[in-house]
Amino acid sequence: MMHDASMHLDTLLQKQSLYPYPCKPNRFPHARASLIQSSKREPLFSSGAAVERRCKRGEDSSFFEDDGPYQDRREDEEGGRSSRWRETDRVRRPYQGRKEEKEDERPLHKDFQRPGSSLPPGARTSGATALKRPKGKKEKKEPSDVVRDAEGFVIKIKSSRDPQHKDTAFSTPRTFPDGQILKFERLGWIYAKDMISRKQFDILREEIKQHIEENMLEALKHRVRVLRPDIRDPASTITSIEEARTALKGKDIGFLQFFNLHRTNEGMLRTLVLGRRFGGMASQLLDTPNVKVYQDSVFYKLPGYSETNWHSDLRMAPFDGNKMVTLWLPMRPICQSEQDSGLKFANGSHKDFSLPFWHNIMKTDLEGRGYEVESPATFEQCDGTWHHGWTLHCAGPQPQDSQPRAALAVTFIAGDMKVMNRKDPSIRKEMLHDEDKESFEEWLRDVKPGAVAEHRLLPVTFGCNAIKLS
């Protein structure tokens, strides 16, 4: 029965010119299968009962126009019609009077051209038979004032109307290969090459250098608060850089930290932190559709500063969740073989659930846990690392005969990350840490404990409602 219906349908389609020229039906298996399925319920061109049903719906069922154009026909339930028609089915509508024919903008596929036709595959049709060559489209030429890097990303738009902070270099997301994502899942960190171009790097380094010079006192006050708890309210009691250095005398400073430069910067740094390029990369690593910027920090080590102790970033943050990732980008090349101060990571420590559950990380000998400590041999200019919020990492001391080392760290969180409720009786109070309080205290008091962290100071950089740079 199916074979007879198939043969009858093929003959009918050729007679009604639904095939442009006689051919073997199996050259169009998908269209043929769709039409056979439709023919089981009601023939495409029927009479009798089908005509009566069309008449009841008020349609003119006198005949089908022989030389009218092919048109797509959609059936819906609202008009009382069957929903059996697919959008790709091409059938003729009942004749409803001649109308002015408009050019069909769909190109004629090469398989549907008549044999011997000299028209190119891209030729377009007008009606069922007339064919003509499409009008040539002029290719859009890129303006000469657009500068791109070696990878094709826009570095700068040289225009007097566009200030430097409207650079579109970071508006296009970049993606990691699958191997990098798997390594991040397994180790908790990855090394990423060419995060930015050389020209962008030079601009960013100068902006960070200027910020360090202008905000040195605030960074020293932060270290006094952390390392000298006996000094009350150093933010108001210490008024000069000399007083801060005197208060820190004899202490292992480790580093100076400058918070949230993107909130005051109007140049390359702001574009980098709030752009979609790194937000999209963080979205990949966290496997989440929406990403927010939690903070950016500049870690500055002067010659003679001590090592940075083992720690995990999520321990310093006021969140009750796991989806956090940090990009660490040094502002000069670092060679670990010369005892320079680059990052070191404990492989797989982000999956060590028993460590934070049973132990205080700050008082635990981590060497006995069997981690494989690894670090990039060198950090080349423009390269950086990405590490998970629970990955343990540290940095060595800064040698006396070395140059100062500055590194930009941008931390991203998932869009549905929740704020920790510190009044919850199940929270282990001894594990709370406020070292980065200067970064989050301004917005934390406006967010309800236990609620999703939504605030204007936590901008969405990738996904729904992402911020638009202006």
The CA distances from residue 202 to 42, 194, 198, 206, 427, in Å, are 71, 13, 6, 6, 45
Residue 11 — very low, low, confident or very high, per pLDDT cuts 50/70/90? low
State pLDDT tens for residues 153-194: 444 444 333 333 344 456 677 889 999 999 999 999 999 999
Confidence of residue 356 (pLDDT cuts 50, 70, 90): confident
* 340 confidence band (pLDDT: 50, 70, 90): confident
Q: Are strands 291-301 and 384-388 parallel, antiparallel or unpaired?
A: unpaired
Residue 369: the pLDDT is 83
Q: Read off the DSSP letter of residue 319.
A: B
Comparison of pLDDT for 120 and 283, the residue scoring more: 283
Mean of the per-residue pLDDT values for the chain?
A: 76
Task: Please state the φ and ψ torsions of residue 273, each to the nearest 5 degrees.
Answer: -65, -40
Query: For 360-459, where are the alpha helices, taking DSSP H only?
Result: 437-444
pLDDT of residue 127: 44
**Rounded Cα–Cα distance for residues 432 and 452 (Å):** 19
Q: Is the dihedral of CA 49, 54, 55, 57 positive or negative?
A: positive
Q: Is 192 helix (H, G, I), strand (E, B) or coil?
A: strand
pLDDT, position 183: 96
Which residues lie below 8 Å from residue 306, measured CB to CB, with a gap of 6+? 252, 253, 254, 397
pLDDT confidence of residue 238: 94
Per residue in 292-324, pLDDT (tens digit) is 999 999 999 999 999 999 999 999 999 999 999
pLDDT value of position 158:
41
pLDDT at 430: 79
pLDDT tens, residue by residue, 386-419: 999 999 999 999 999 899 999 999 999 999 999 9
**Whose CA is closest to 253, among 299, 317, 320?**
299
Q: How far apart are CA 208 and CA 175, in angstroms?
A: 26
| pLDDT, position 87 | 42
Mean pLDDT, rounded, for 239-260: 94
pLDDT of residue 284: 95
* 215 has a pLDDT exceeding 90: yes
Q: Which of 112-116, 355-359, 431-435 has the highest mean pLDDT?
A: 431-435
Tell the CATH superfamily of the 164-462 domain: q2cbj1_9rhob like domain (2.60.120.620)
The whole-number average pLDDT for the span 201-214 is 96
Q: Which residues of 194-233 are buried (b: 16+ CB within 10 A; e: fewer)?
A: bbbbeebbebbbebbeebbeebeeebbbbbbbbbeeeeee
Segments making up each domain of the chain, as ranges: 2-100, 164-462
CA distance 118 to 121: 9
- Higher confidence at residue 145 or residue 321? 321
352-365 burial, b at 16+ Cβ within 10 Å, e below that, comes to beebbeeeebeeee
Q: Per-residue pLDDT tens for 95-142?
A: 445 544 444 444 545 444 445 445 455 444 444 444 444 555 455 555
pLDDT exceeds 50 at position 5: yes
Q: How confident is the model over 368-391, as a mean pLDDT?
A: 92
420, pLDDT greater than 80: yes
Which range, of 41-45, 52-56, 270-274, averages the lowest pLDDT? Answer: 41-45
pLDDT at residue 384 is higher than 60:
yes
Tokens of 205: 């380094």
